[in-house]
Structure 1
Amino acid sequence: MWSGILPAVTAKFTPNDTLDIKEMERCFAYQISAGVDGIIVNGSLGEGPMLSHDERLDVLHVAKSVAGGRPVLMTIADAATRDCASLAERAAKAGATGLMIVPSLVYHTNPKETVATLSTIAAAADLPVMIYSNRIAYRVDVTLEIMDELAADKRFVAIKESSDDIRRTTEIINRFGDRYDVFTGVDNLAFEALAAGAVGWVAGLVVAFPEETVAIYRLMKAKRYDEALALYRWFRPLLDLDVSTYLVQNLKLVEALVTGTTEMVRAPRLPLEGARRAEVEKLVAEALANRPLLAKAA
């Protein structure tokens, strides 16, 4: 159902800590103009858990307004299944193309609870679902056995594979074939996952470098692996910033330095400062100084 580059876009805030609708329109449109294949709103990078449900729906509306018919997925991530189901239902009514569901944010569910949570949320919206499998950040591993149990429900169409174990991509494909659309959700494993058969990339650094992210994907699909690998190696120091406790601050700073947007985050997060900020600024300066010319790919 889905494939390609799906940016996990960032939320934009005014100095008064309200959503900056105009700036989100500009930044989301920049992604679309670069050729991405859809948009995912309110994920980890989008600070979704820091937004009210009304704010998350506002971000969804912005994305839909600029997406040009491309898929717009709403991330569902709350502590209580009841609240997740309520938001999922509202997202469906607001026109979301599908959902990306985080199994549990606070309480670390066991396999039975994980299946029940995902199934309840999917039923509330009756939309196609991408399961966000991230045992590193959220401590809930959506295992092959859980995927097997959910496979009978046709609403579950995709997996965002973020286990940090590149073997998992092959294991999913070996077990399920094309039953699930497998996306990589780890920026600095994207080349490896696409080479192993992933059909898409839920990307983070794409917010600052959409053309390069799209180019890597298209080169991989065209089997122009050497060209894709050269571009990926240039990109890799920045991609490593996605795998960090400070991924939101890291990527918002990169986005601000490259595209001129704001880096404001919602508390309790604070913008980067000191040595950590200087390191990100250095990486961006080096990347821009050595930014490659992009090859055309079908």
Structure 2
Amino acid sequence: MTIQWKGVFPAVTTKLKADGALDLDAIRQGLERLIENGVAGVVMMGMVGENAQLSPEEKLTVLRTAKETVRGRVPVISGLAETSTEKAVAYAREAEKIGVDGLMVFPGLTYKSDDAETIAFYKTVAAASRLEILLYNNPRGYGVDLRPDVVADLLAAPTIVAIKEESYDTTRVTDLISRFGDRLAVVCGVDDLIVESVALGAQAWVSGMANALPRQSVQLLDLAIAGDFAQARKLYAALTPLFHLDTVVKLVQHIKLAEHLITGSAETVKAPRLALTGAERERTIQITRQTLADLKALGYD
């Protein structure tokens, strides 16, 4: 399946049982809910999610479960987050065997590579499979910045087709689109910069909080792409307090708690993450409830 980089692509939370084991039934139910609410694709195991905490076999089980559940209705993309080029190549090949449609590839974890090393890493991973690759640019999180000059070298690899832009600098959206045009899809990777990114030309969004509110996230993106910024701003204002929680260290806990409040799914996380407690948990509960009330007042329920 050729991926059309338009629409909302939730970075799907990995549902877990109380003992930390994969909850495959909950994963299936979550995927069905996302598809029913209009998402354009699903990204399994985003890195700032729980990719690094899963065993190699758990990761492949999540991918098999996603492929069996989705049944070709939308593209299935896997996060690829490994500590060495060798492991990244092996994972890309296994993901291709399972039949996923693309890879969202992080720089090599735990090592801050320079430009030459970064380019070599990505080109080697790209050559390992025929899968489309979404570059992940999150210099705040990983210390590696895929600047436009670096991206220019990477585009020698034909399977590198998109970039999840998460530098928190919206001028990057303009710079990338102006320089690379249709050769590279620029995908918003920050929930609370989505309307700004669309105004500059982005048409796709990898979102964390879309797990909790997929339909409203799709509606927001549709309004912005259609140029109805007056309505988009109203909806965005209601959603932004919740979206802010997607940009902090404990985003996984916040997203899973919001999902729990809305759908009843478990908020279990993998150690070393711990569940939210006390005032921090109450604040997320309050923000979620207020967001739902504000959405209802606007006619989004």
Aligned residue number for residue 132 of structure 1: 136
Aligned residue number for residue 227 of structure 1: 231
Structure 1 position 179 matched with structure 2 position 152? no
Give the C-alpha shift of residue 59 in structure 1. Answer: 1.1
Which one-letter code corresponds to 2:66 in the other structure? Answer: A
Structure 1 position 287 matched with structure 2 position 299? no
Aligned residue number for residue 21 of structure 2: 18
Which one-letter code corresponds to 2:134 in the other structure? Answer: M
RMSD, aligned α-carbons = 1.2
Instruction: Kindly report which structure 2 residues correspond to 1:190-205, keeping only aligned pairs within 5 A, or say none.
Output: 190-205=194-209
Q: Which runs of 4+ in 1 moved over 4 A?
A: none
Which one-letter code corresponds to 1:110 in the other structure? Answer: D
Structure 1 position 99 matched with structure 2 position 94? no
Q: Following the alignment from structure 1 to structure 2, what is the Cα–Cα distance between the partners of residues 151 and 78? A: 21
Deviation string for 1:63-105 (max 9, x for gaps)? 2223242110111001111111111110000001011100122
1:50 to 26, 48, 53: 53
Structure 1 position 263 matched with structure 2 position 264? no
Deviation string for 1:191-245 (max 9, x for gaps)? 1001110120001100010011000111122221111111011000000000101
Structure 1 position 28 matched with structure 2 position 31? yes
- Greater Cα offset, 285-294 or 23-32: 285-294
- Contact residue 47 and residue 80 of structure 2 kept, 8 A: no
Aligned residue number for residue 63 of structure 1: 66
Q: Following the alignment from structure 1 to structure 2, what is the Cα–Cα distance between the partners of residues 63 and 195? A: 32
Which one-letter code corresponds to 1:142 in the other structure? Answer: L
Q: Following the alignment from structure 1 to structure 2, what is the Cα–Cα distance between the partners of residues 122 and 271? A: 36
TM-score by length of 1: 0.96
Aligned residue number for residue 241 of structure 1: 245
Deviation string for 1:128-163 (max 9, x for gaps)? 100001101111101101110011211100000000
Aligned residue number for residue 189 of structure 1: 193
Aligned residue number for residue 78 of structure 1: 82
Give the C-alpha shift of residue 293 in structure 1. Answer: 1.7
Secondary structure of 1:290's match? Answer: helix
Q: Following the alignment from structure 2 to structure 1, what is the Cα–Cα distance between the partners of residues 280 and 294? A: 22
Q: Following the alignment from structure 1 to structure 2, what is the Cα–Cα distance between the partners of residues 241 and 92? A: 33
Q: Following the alignment from structure 1 to structure 2, what is the Cα–Cα distance between the partners of residues 233 and 104? A: 36
Q: Following the alignment from structure 2 to structure 1, what is the Cα–Cα distance between the partners of residues 178 and 152? A: 12
- Contact residue 209 and residue 243 of structure 2 kept, 8 A: yes
Unaligned segments of structure 1, at least 5 residues? none
Identity across matched positions, percent: 39
- Contact residue 191 and residue 208 of structure 2 kept, 8 A: yes
Q: Following the alignment from structure 2 to structure 1, what is the Cα–Cα distance between the partners of residues 166 and 239? A: 19
Give the C-alpha shift of residue 177 in structure 1. Answer: 1.1
Secondary structure of 1:136's match? Answer: helix
Q: Following the alignment from structure 2 to structure 1, what is the Cα–Cα distance between the partners of residues 68 and 218? A: 21
Which one-letter code corresponds to 1:76 in the other structure? Answer: L
TM-score by length of 2: 0.95
Aligned residue number for residue 90 of structure 1: 94
Q: Following the alignment from structure 1 to structure 2, what is the Cα–Cα distance between the partners of residues 237 and 16? A: 31
